[in-house]
């Protein structure tokens, strides 16, 4: 009996010793060794601007669109809490396009009748857009060291701030602005560059999967086009609070 108790005690002491060694190793990690991870993989995401519902109908064209982004990404560590991500992907936009018809209307003012032409929606039709996207994104993981020491930094989980820069070119487009058929025949779209400030949060949900939620705040865009053999470059500052949700599978 004494031999059995002695053997159990020895096994227990050995286990506690190994556990203590692991714990000491974790908490004695050198500060210079606390770094974000590099990874690559596939991601799928979608986003929506909630302010669209407050815009007037002539601005939104009464058209509803759902984007679906599918990309391959490569996230590389460039500093202890910084990464640089490059990605290539496709954006599918499924559009419920409003169809307009012209009609004559009138109103009476001071005993006079005034006539004018107007438009109204006469149904909807399905439209589709496909864009090729090339992007680069520097990202700063805020408070990464603190999360690492608490064991909560798997797959770079936590709050981040980034500046994604994306070039987007149309591959397929069946959508047309109402009454713009002649203009579309003279117009060539060479794509656009979008720069935005992104605030988000990443959460690992398994060894290889993570989810991200983000808010696109402010940014700038540059478009390149040609109309009647004349080349145009247009740039504009935007406030575009798009809420996005992303799921990604990673390789290391």
pLDDT at 25 over 60: no
131's CB contacts (< 8 A; 6+ apart) are: 90, 91, 93, 168, 169, 170, 171
115-119: long-range contacts, CB 8 A cutoff, minimum separation 24 = 119/178
Q: Which DSSP helix (H) or strand (E) runs through 27?
A: helix 2-27
Residue that wins the pLDDT comparison between 201 and 7 = 201
Query: What pLDDT is attached to residue 248?
Result: 98
Place of tokens 């990604």: 248
pTM: 0.75
Question: Range with the lowest mean pLDDT among 158-162, 201-205, 227-231?
Answer: 227-231
Alpha-carbon span 48 to 55, nearest angstrom: 14
Q: What is the pLDDT of residues 30-40, one digit of tens each?
A: 777 899 999 99
């Amino acid at each position: 009996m004494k031999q059995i108790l002695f053997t159990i005690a020895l096994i227990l002491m050995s286990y506690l010793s190994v556990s203590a060694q692991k714990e000491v190793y974790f908490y004695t990690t050198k500060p210079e060794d606390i770094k974000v991870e590099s990874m690559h993989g596939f991601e799928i995401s979608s986003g929506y601007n909630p302010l669209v519902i407050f815009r007037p109908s002539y601005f939104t064209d009464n058209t509803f669109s759902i984007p679906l982004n599918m990309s391959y990404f490569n996230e590389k560590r460039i500093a202890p809490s910084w990464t640089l991500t490059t990605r290539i992907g496709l954006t599918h936009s499924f559009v419920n396009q409003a169809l307009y018809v012209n009609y004559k209307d009138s109103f009476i003012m001071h005993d006079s009748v005034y006539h004018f032409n107007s438009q109204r929606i006469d149904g909807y039709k399905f439209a589709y857009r496909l864009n090729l996207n090339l992007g680069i994104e520097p990202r700063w993981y805020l408070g990464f060291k603190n999360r690492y020491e608490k064991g909560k930094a798997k797959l770079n989980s936590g709050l981040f701030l980034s500046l994604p820069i994306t070039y987007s070119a149309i591959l397929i487009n069946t959508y047309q602005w109402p009454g713009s058929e002649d203009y579309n025949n003279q117009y060539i779209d060479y794509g656009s560059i979008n720069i935005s400030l992104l605030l988000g949060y990443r959460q690992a949900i398994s060894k290889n999967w993570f989810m991200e939620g983000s808010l696109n705040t402010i940014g700038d865009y540059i478009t390149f086009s040609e109309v009647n053999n004349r080349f145009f470059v247009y740039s504009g500052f935007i406030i575009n609070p798009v809420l996005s949700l992303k799921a990604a599978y990673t390789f290391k």
